[in-house]
Amino acid sequence: MGRVTGSWLSGPQIGPADGVENDHRGQDLGLPASGPGSLATGWPRVAGLLVDWLIAGGLAMLFVGFGSPHLGTTQLGTWFVIGIFAVTLFGFTPGQLVIGMRVARVDFGADRNTAEATGKESPAAVGIVRAFFRQLLMVFLVPALINDYNGRALHDRATGTALVRTR
C-alpha cells in the first residue's frame, strides 16, 4: 500500500537518461550518497524556503507596514532579490545557511563535484545569471514541485545547479 501512495504523493518524476544507473541519488552528478556534498532532500529544502520567506516577510513589513495591501507583492520582491544576491555572492540564501545547504553547480562533471564534496577544491560560483533564472523559475512554484530521479527540481535542472548539504 505504501508503494502505491508513494508513487502519487511524491509528484511527477523525470527519469534518468539512457545508460544512467545510480546506486544513490546524485551519483551521476558526482555527488556522495550522504553527508556534506550530497543532495538535499525535500523537507530541508522546504524548511530553508520557509526561513527565507519569513525573513522576506519581516523586511517587507518594515518597508510598507503590516496593514499595507502591497505587503504580499513586497514580500515576494524582497524574497526574489535576497535569493539572487545571496546565492550569487555566497552560494546560499539565509534559510539555506540555517538549514545547512548551499546551491552548487553540477554542470562541469563528476570529478570536480567529488573534489568539492571532499573539500579538496573550492566550489564554482553559481553566478548572477544562474541565480536570477533559478529564482525566477521558483516564483512559478510548479518547476520546484516536479523532481527528477535524483530529487532535483526543474529550476535546478534548467540552471545546472543542485541544492547540496553542507553538514
pLDDT of residue 10: 52
39 part of a folded domain? yes
Three-state SS for 18-82 is CCCCCCCCCHHHCCCCCCCCCECCHHHHHHHHHHHHHHHHHHHHHHHCCCCCCHHHHHHHHHHHH
Q: Cβ distance 39 to 147 under 8 Å?
A: no
**Do residues 124 and 64 lie in contact, with contact meaning Cβ atoms separated by under 8 Å?**
no
AA identity, residue 154: L
- Into how many domains does the chain fold? 1
Residue 164: all three cell numbers together: 547540496
pLDDT at 59: 96
CA dist 31 and 127 (Å) reads: 20
Could you tell me if residue 10 is inside a domain? no
Residue 8 is predicted with a pLDDT of: 46
Residue 137: inside a domain? yes
Q: Among positive and negative, which fits the CA dihedral 22, 2, 13, 93?
A: negative
C-alpha 30 chain-centroid distance: 17
- 142 domain residue, yes or no: yes
Do the domain assignments include residue 6?
A: no
Residue 3: per-residue pLDDT: 47
In this predicted structure, what is the pLDDT of residue 150? 82
Low-confidence ranges of the chain (pLDDT < 70): 1-20, 22, 108-123
pLDDT at 81: 97
User: Does some domain include residue 75?
Assistant: yes
11 within 8 A of 147, measured Cβ to Cβ:
yes
Residue 64 belongs to domain spanning:
30-165
Residue 14 belongs to some domain of the structure? no
**Per-residue pLDDT tens over the stretch 78-113:** 999 999 999 999 999 999 999 999 999 988 654 444
pLDDT confidence of residue 9: 47
In a domain, 22, yes or no: no
